[in-house]
Amino acid sequence: MDHQQGDHGQGQHQLPGCYRHKERETGISCTRCERPICPECMISASVGYQCPECVREGSGTGHSPAANQPRTVAGGLLVSDTRLVVKILLAINVTVFVAVLAVGDDLVSRLAMIAYAIDPGTFSMVGVADGQWYRLVTSAFLHQEFWHIGFNMMALWFLGPPLEQALGRVRFITLYLLSALGGNVLTYWLMAQNVLSLGASGAIFGLFGATAVLMRRMRSDMRPIAVLLGINLVITFLPGLNIAWQAHLGGLIVGAVVAYALVHAPRQSRTAVQYGTCLAVLALLLVACVVRTSILLG
């Protein structure tokens, strides 16, 4: 947790000076350009504070319309509805859940995550290793119990909007899907190959990791998210609950890594760093899947 040192008599504890008023020490930085700004130069933005120059650039003074649109800390476009993607994801999950209630276990067996096993109904091999790669994604939108979808959707509703606002819609959905995939890839590696796994928990834990990274970036109080994440991790590893801890851990790691790249990418090469990191994470996950498949088939 960041805090300001009260002793300014020693150089190593001295705070930087405002970029416009060098004599004024400050611990606050502009969320866009990261230059230190004093209270006089702070302009409240959707997330944190911005300096006068960044606000002026976002207002349309002397630049093309495309470049003048206000941007978030991650470079995404500011939007009025910060729950649009969250609502779409929630609707997909609820729709699939209703379909499961209507159709039954057959839909679950077709869409859930499973590595490689014999289908007791047809006595044929099924699973990701058998070429059903779609299970790595479809299982992340699949729930069977009311408590399971209720917990995950509640977490999505509360964790999603701040991230969608701070990252922008495209970056947010990328983070969500990569976290879901990361959770299922680790499940593919570490869970018994004939055990079904389903649920959005991998993606949700990715949002937990991303929230922690964003709060650290904004110099916010880390205690609330640390306590919440700690409680959920303890529950994850409690014996007897049959929770796929592999999905939780994989989603958490991928979410934190992707979020770090999104909010810490240097402004001059922001897009290249962000796209490059997301593509590198995706490539690593796909390679891991290929290797695991070769092991199971071998």
pLDDT score at 3: 39
Neighbouring residues of 178: CB distance < 8 A, sequence distance ≥ 6:
206, 254, 255, 258, 278, 281, 282, 285
pLDDT interval class at 13 (50, 70, 90): low
Active site residue 248: yes
Active site residue 109: no
- For residue 82, pLDDT over 90 is answered with no
| Average pLDDT, integer, range 1-17 | 50
Overall CATH class of domain 84-297: mainly alpha
Numbered ranges of CATH 3.30.40 in the chain: 1-70
Helices (H), 118-242: 135-138, 146-167, 169-190, 201-217, 223-236
pLDDT > 90: percent of the chain:
59
- For residue 59, pLDDT over 90 is answered with no
Span 1-70 CATH architecture: 2-Layer Sandwich (3.30)
168-227 confidence digits (pLDDT tens)? 999 999 999 999 999 999 999 999 999 999 999 999 999 999 999 999 988 888 898 999
8 Å CB contact between 248 and 237: no
pTM for this prediction: 0.79
| Average pLDDT, integer, range 227-236 | 91
pLDDT score at 45: 67
253-280 confidence digits (pLDDT tens)? 999 999 999 999 988 888 999 999 999 9
Tell me the two tokens of residue 172.
């947010």
- For residue 14, pLDDT over 70 is answered with yes
pLDDT score at 298: 84
Q: What is the rounded CA–CA span in Å between residue 209 and residue 226?
A: 10
Numbered ranges of CATH 1.20.1540.10 in the chain: 84-297
Tell me the two tokens of residue 43.
């302009």
128-160 confidence digits (pLDDT tens)? 999 999 999 999 999 999 999 999 999 999 999
Which of the following is catalytic: 8, 29, 248, 264? 248
Which of the following is catalytic: 201, 220, 269, 294? 201
Top pLDDT among 14 and 224 is at 224
- For residue 8, pLDDT over 50 is answered with no
Task: Indicate the SS3 state at residue 218.
Answer: coil
Top pLDDT among 33 and 212 is at 212
pLDDT > 70: percent of the chain:
89
| Average pLDDT, integer, range 107-127 | 90
Mean confidence (pLDDT) of the chain? 86
**Angle between helix 169-190 and 270-297 (nearest 10):** 20
pLDDT score at 5: 38
Angle at 93 between CA 89 and CA 95, to 5 degrees: 115
pLDDT score at 65: 43
